[in-house]
Amino acid sequence: MTAVGIDAVEIWTGKLKLDLAETFAPEMGDDPAKYTKGLGLEGSSFPDAYEDIVTMGANAAHRLMERKDLDPDDVGRIDVATESAFDNSKPVSTYIAGCLEQVYEGDFHHANKGERKFACIAGTQSIDDAYNWIKAGRNRGRGAIVVASDTALYARGDAGEATQGAGAVAMWITENPSLVELSTEQGYGSADETDFLKPNQQFPSVDGKRSVQVYLSRMREALEDFESVAGETHPDDYEYIPFHTPFPGMVRKAAVLGYRHMIRGTDAEEALTDRIGPQPRRDDFDSREAFDDAIRDYMDDLKETEEYREWYGETIEPTLSISSQVGNWYTGSVHIARMSALRAAAEAGDDLTGDKLLVGSYGSGAQAEIHEETIVDGWEEEALATNIDEQIERRYDISFDEYEQVHDRHNHDKRTELEPFTQPDGEFVFDGWGPMNERKYTFV
Ligand code: HMG
């Protein structure tokens, strides 16, 4: 059977940085530790005045095509996952293809283009579409570019304002990939929820606290569904477990639930029993409340065990490093979690070929999906090829006043003019509106 998966990844961060502890917390009257320790976030990325989902996506895709030496004829699909689109008809992928055609000979007229929407999970769904297209043998030897691009802005004053972010991830999906091969097996947890939605509005309506619970419930369902087809999972089976990361604190909650689920009935649970007791079982409790309390107590104890802490430090923590610097990138978020971990391993010189990842994607509204990935030969070179650390370092650190201007600039209802803080160089920039209210782009 042909292996299909992610061959290469490029990441593009918005060029501005809001320091949450130094700049945002004091203005909110908050203890900086709420951000750095509670949410697990140091900073958020924002787009400069000339950046948006198209420029960030096109710049990431351009880097990908240059690095992999691709020309338009190699590309059979361009799919964009976003929940920040500005057009209900014309997909962002057409704008991105238009940008790329400015810098390549030839065109993408032969390429199927689309836009996927299901909150943050749409990036993973677009990879699925590409996988299915290749597996079905419809690709004629070509690969698919999947771009996940978002400006994750919340209304000023919303609790979600602390978790904003902006950036794009471009992925090249092919046969015989050089980074990870995707499993056929998948698990889903999907339900009609109203935890976070944007009914024809730019900034989300969010029930923040409930969204956390919905994330955990759907993720648990997805894991159970995955196990029903792939067999029981065990924490030691996976080198890393990248999750959708709206903020690292969310992943902290998901990880301990996942660990509890995976060790249930195994030697690992047995080994902890003399210290924290056996896991509470529903049948042993008269009421749901009493059972829930017992579970909470068990998890509080579990989190403090050496076994859990070591597993978390090795399997989860490395997935969070980029997110903690850039915030929530919605559709791109789980894909930067994967790259955070693989880059750290490549830098440490680890040998992971043949090892597995368990990947947990989530989108509000709501759906979780879990699948497995096998790390393949060539992964180190691919993981180290992106220059995301340099990009993060180079961001312009905005003051609170500047943050307010930047938020207004990207508010679709305001169309505020703003002098850029950085100088574009060899990249696509937003260039104003055309006669049909279309957005225009140039390569500078
Ligand atoms: P909040 O009310 O501002 O924060 O909202 P909080 O008071 O809950 O504090 C956050 C954490 O910091 C808590 O940790 C506090 O204890 C801790 P926890 O108890 O939960 O572990 N904390 C401190 N820690 C140390 N020192 C201190 C301190 N103070 C507090 N001094 C909330 C937080 C997440 C609700 C808010 O940011 C929000 O609404 N965010 C947007 C929604 C969101 O991100 N939801 C996540 C799940 S849904 C999802 O992932 C989908 C999404 O990506 C969208 C999509 O799919 O398209 C959002």
| CA 346 – CA 348 distance, rounded (Å) | 5
| CA 22 – CA 37 distance, rounded (Å) | 14
Atom of ligand 1 nearest to the CA of 161: 37
pLDDT (0 to 100) of residue 147: 99
Atom of ligand 1 nearest to the CA of 208: 39
Answer whether 251 contacts ligand 1 (Cβ < 6 A): no
| Ligand 1 center to 208 CA (angstroms) | 7
Alpha helices in 369-424 (DSSP H): 379-385, 388-394, 400-409
pLDDT (0 to 100) of residue 1: 80
Answer whether 120 contacts ligand 1 (Cβ < 6 A): yes
Number of H-type helices and E-type strands within the chain: 15, 15
Answer whether 204 contacts ligand 1 (Cβ < 6 A): no
In sequence order, what are the residues at sequence separation of 6 or more whose Cβ sits closer than 8 angstroms to the Cβ of residue 436? none
Answer whether 250 contacts ligand 1 (Cβ < 6 A): yes
Q: Name 371's bridge partners.
A: 186, 359
pLDDT (0 to 100) of residue 444: 97
- Is pLDDT above 90 for 415? no
pLDDT digits (tens, 9 = 90+) for 47-89: 999 999 999 999 999 999 999 999 999 999 999 999 999 999 9
| CA 361 – CA 341 distance, rounded (Å) | 16
Atom of ligand 1 nearest to the CA of 333: 53
Answer whether 37 contacts ligand 1 (Cβ < 6 A): yes
Taking the chain, what is the end-to-end CA distance rounded to the nearest angstrom?
Answer: 44
3-class DSSP state of 118: strand
Atom of ligand 1 nearest to the CA of 35: 12
- Is pLDDT above 90 for 342? yes
Element (H, E) at 228: helix 208-230
What amino acid positions are annotated as catalytic residues?
83, 120, 244
Closest Cα to atom 35, ligand 1: which residue?
Answer: 208
Atom of ligand 1 nearest to the CA of 328: 53
pLDDT (0 to 100) of residue 307: 97
Answer whether 360 contacts ligand 1 (Cβ < 6 A): no
Closest Cα to atom 54, ligand 1: which residue?
Answer: 364
pLDDT digits (tens, 9 = 90+) for 190-205: 999 999 999 999 999 9
pTM greater than the 0.95 cutoff: yes
For residue 436, give both structure tokens.
Answer: 């049909």
Cis before 122 (ω within 30): no
* pLDDT more than 70, % of the chain: 100
Question: Which among 170, 206, 192, 185 has a CA at the least distance from the CA of 339?
Answer: 170
Answer whether 300 contacts ligand 1 (Cβ < 6 A): no
Answer whether 118 contacts ligand 1 (Cβ < 6 A): no
Answer whether 212 contacts ligand 1 (Cβ < 6 A): yes
Closest Cα to atom 46, ligand 1: which residue?
Answer: 212
Cα 203 to the chain's mean position, in Å? 19
Atom of ligand 1 nearest to the CA of 119: 57
| CA 144 – CA 387 distance, rounded (Å) | 22
Whole-Å CA distances, 131 to 138, 183, 361 = 11, 10, 16
For residue 191, give both structure tokens.
Answer: 């339900």
Mean pLDDT, all residues of the chain: 97
Answer whether 211 contacts ligand 1 (Cβ < 6 A): yes
Whole-Å CA distances, 123 to 237, 336, 369 = 25, 11, 11
Domains of the chain: 4-443 (3.40.47.10)
Closest Cα to atom 24, ligand 1: which residue?
Answer: 38
Answer whether 415 contacts ligand 1 (Cβ < 6 A): no
For residue 329, give both structure tokens.
Answer: 């990138």
Closest Cα to atom 4, ligand 1: which residue?
Answer: 159
Atom of ligand 1 nearest to the CA of 365: 56
Cα 112 to the chain's mean position, in Å? 24
Closest Cα to atom 32, ligand 1: which residue?
Answer: 208
**Owner of token pair 């042993």:** 284
| Ligand 1 center to 244 CA (angstroms) | 14
* pLDDT more than 90, % of the chain: 99
pLDDT digits (tens, 9 = 90+) for 239-298: 999 999 999 999 999 999 999 999 999 999 999 999 999 999 999 999 999 999 999 999
| CA 134 – CA 130 distance, rounded (Å) | 6
Closest Cα to atom 5, ligand 1: which residue?
Answer: 159
pLDDT digits (tens, 9 = 90+) for 110-152: 999 999 999 999 999 999 999 999 999 999 999 999 999 999 9
| Ligand 1 center to 235 CA (angstroms) | 26
Closest Cα to atom 2, ligand 1: which residue?
Answer: 159
Answer whether 76 contacts ligand 1 (Cβ < 6 A): no
- Is pLDDT above 90 for 183? yes
